[in-house]
Amino acid sequence: MSATPKSARTRAHVRDVAVRMLRDVGYDRTTMRAVAAEAGVSTGNAYYHFASKDALVQELYLEVQQEHAERAAPVLAAGGSLADRLRGVWGASIDAFAPFHAFAGEFLSVAIRPGSDASPFSAPSTASRELSRALFEEVVAGASTRVPPRLRAQLPELLWLAQLGLTLYWVHDTSPGFARTRRLVDGGAALVGSLVRLARLPVARGVVDDVLRLVRDASPVGGASSPSDGPASDGPGSDGPGSDGPASDGAASEGAASDRPLGERGARA
């Protein structure tokens, strides 16, 4: 049975109050009883709409991810290289998360508990996790940088995992304006761009395949694509739109010599 208009309004009100309290007073002080009192409803009514405080945390996650997506939209619409797009999206996350920094440690302590519904890897976090992953899928899909097909399928997952690491660093960053985290974003995005260009070299195929296989095997959620473990083709036209300049010339210049085994190339050198 669908919710009545009054029930839907009550649910939305309780949600808005809870999200505001989570932002203003943190996880520990935002109890279901406190939310109900602030919202002007009974505690039982609050539980009717949200089974637990962690269910309210999921609403916060969704709101923050939606804010992140809105802030990242102009960057993604502008096109550009993989590094530029990634720098913009990671930077947008800092701005979207900033209002919650004072209590970020409380949320982190709950999220890292094994089996916690507040974990970014949990089933209840699926909606916010997929919303975040979608940003990195768009980062890769719209980049002018050519990404090898074997890497293209899993790169968004790798970038999302890196986002989690970046967020952990941000939680502990007390520098003005999160300057240290922003420097990490700048350097990390440039490094990713360089590594992707290097991944196009035939000599790097084995290393790339090993890394992707490791990530697939270790992934705590089943969202990553799982291409065949065998060698993939990087034939003409398969690298996607555009080029990123001189680095792509380096990849092409490897030529037939790069396709020979290392030992054979060394013997002929």
pLDDT per residue over 206-263, tens digit each?
A: 888 888 888 778 777 654 444 444 444 443 334 443 444 444 433 333 333 333 443 4
**Using CA atoms, how far apart are residues 109 and 27, in angstroms rounded to an integer?**
10
At 110, give phi and psi (nearest 5°): -80, -40
What does the pLDDT look like over 148-191, one tens digit per residue?
A: 888 998 999 999 999 999 999 999 999 999 999 999 999 999 99
Structural domain containing residue 19: 1-51
What is the count of structural domains for the chain?
Answer: 2
The verdict on 248 and 128 lying in the same domain is yes
What does the pLDDT look like over 28-60, one tens digit per residue?
A: 999 999 999 999 999 999 999 999 999 999 999
The verdict on 31 and 103 lying in the same domain is no
Asked whether residue 241 is domain-assigned, the answer is yes
State the virtual CA torsion across 239, 192, 155, 121 in degrees, nearest 10: -170
The verdict on 27 and 136 lying in the same domain is no
The verdict on 117 and 209 lying in the same domain is yes
The verdict on 34 and 71 lying in the same domain is no
Asked whether residue 56 is domain-assigned, the answer is no
Asked whether residue 252 is domain-assigned, the answer is yes
Domain of 13, CATH number, reads: 1.10.10.60
The verdict on 196 and 216 lying in the same domain is yes
Domain of 163, CATH number, reads: 1.10.357.10
The verdict on 8 and 102 lying in the same domain is no
The verdict on 66 and 45 lying in the same domain is no
**Using CA atoms, how far apart are residues 266 and 269, in angstroms rounded to an integer?**
5
**Using CA atoms, how far apart are residues 242 and 145, in angstroms rounded to an integer?**
6
The verdict on 184 and 84 lying in the same domain is yes
**Using CA atoms, how far apart are residues 56 and 75, in angstroms rounded to an integer?**
30
What does the pLDDT look like over 103-133, one tens digit per residue?
A: 999 999 989 888 889 999 999 999 999 999 9
Asked whether residue 178 is domain-assigned, the answer is yes
The verdict on 43 and 76 lying in the same domain is no
134 exposure class (CB count in 10 Å sphere: 0-12, 13-18, 19+):
middle
The verdict on 42 and 78 lying in the same domain is no
The verdict on 167 and 113 lying in the same domain is yes
Q: Is the pTM value of this prediction over 0.85?
A: no
